Amino acid sequence: NAGVTQTPKFQVLKTGQSMTLQCAQDMNHNSMYWYRQDPGMGLRLIYYSASEGTTDKGEVPNGYNVSRLNKREFSLRLESAAPSQTSVYFCASSVWVGSNNEQFFGPGTRLTVL
Amino acid sequence: SQQGEEDPQALSIQEGENATMNCSYKTSINNLQWYRQNSGRGLVHLILIRSNEREKHSGRLRVTLDTSKKSSSLLITASRAADTASYFCATAPLMDSSYKLIFGSGTRLLVRP
């Protein structure tokens, strides 16, 4: 099993450009998450999808949109990139059964917005 | 805003020594989890402790939880150079039925050979 995969690994954008970060998991997990991690900081939740067909805002949703394409895939879109969105983006998934919500993380996408 | 805050922010120890990291949080929780992040990699789950548990062990890891003080500690015994990483606590707030996690800012651990 590949676990959680993310593409691309690295991306450089110019201000105003758009892009979509892809995430897929092969563990049959119900819930998926997008985080950003800025230098020296913990993870901040951008959006999450508790189950297929639902998405909700996290702590820092402005400037982002998401799509839960199916149970496996959850994409994050930047419509008009800004330098403040320079960060490392992590996708995660979890089984949502009671309070057993251990999360499994992808390797991350390093995004630089010039 | 960050729910969990780790202390210290950075820790440097000699191989073989024990490492202790602390986490404080603000609201009541379902559970608290610890994760490790090696440089440039994604987070890896280490251990989960539920709100009705006080202590849990996993190999060289020992986690304690004091819900009255809203704090937790992670002890790594007999540390190795390979333990060098950042360690994050994450809490699942009690009033949040979605069970999403809120991460702290992390402790950077350096284990010197």
Summarize pLDDT for A14-67 with one digit per residue, the tens: 999 999 999 999 999 999 999 999 987 789 999 999 888 899 999 999 999 999
Average pLDDT, chain B: 92
Chain B residues within 8 A of A99 when measuring between CB atoms = 30-31, 50, 92, 99
pLDDT tens, position by position, B37-59 = 999 899 999 999 999 999 999 99
Question: Cα B10 vs. chain centroid, distance in angstroms?
Answer: 13
3-state helix vs strand vs coil in chain A, percent to 5: 5, 55, 45
Nearest residue of chain A to residue B1 (CA atoms): A59
The length of chain B, given as a count of residues: 113
Q: What is the mean pLDDT of residues A69-73?
A: 94
Whether B99 and chain A come into contact, CB under 8 Å, resolves to yes
Q: What is the mean pLDDT of residues B85-100?
A: 85
Whether B92 and chain A come into contact, CB under 8 Å, resolves to yes
Nearest CB to B100; choose among A45, A90, A104: A45
Q: Is the pLDDT score of B1 beyond 60?
A: no
Q: What is the band of A1 on the pLDDT scale with cuts at 50, 70, 90?
A: confident
Output the pLDDT for position A20.
Answer: 98
Chain B residues within 8 A of A42 when measuring between CB atoms = 2, 4, 88, 103-106
Q: Is the pLDDT score of A84 beyond 80?
A: yes
Output the pLDDT for position A101.
Answer: 84
- CA neighbor of A30 nearest in space, from A53, A7, A59, A47: A53
Task: Say whether B103 and A100 touch across the interface (CB within 8 A).
Answer: no
- CA neighbor of B33 nearest in space, from A45, A98, A31, A101: A101
Nearest CB to A99; choose among B43, B50, B102: B50
Task: Say whether B100 and A105 touch across the interface (CB within 8 A).
Answer: no
Q: What is the mean pLDDT of residues B73-93?
A: 95
Rounded to the nearest angstrom, the minimum Cα separation between B52 and chain A is 12
Nearest residue of chain B to residue A40 (CA atoms): B105
Output the pLDDT for position A97.
Answer: 62
Whether B98 and chain A come into contact, CB under 8 Å, resolves to yes
Average pLDDT, chain A: 93
Output the pLDDT for position A40.
Answer: 77
Q: Is the pLDDT score of B2 beyond 70?
A: no
Output the pLDDT for position B52.
Answer: 94
Could you tell me whether strands A87-94 and B71-76 are parallel, antiparallel, or unpaired per DSSP bridges? unpaired
- CA neighbor of A45 nearest in space, from A61, A31, A66, A29: A61
Nearest CB to B99; choose among A45, A92, A96: A96
Output the pLDDT for position A81.
Answer: 96
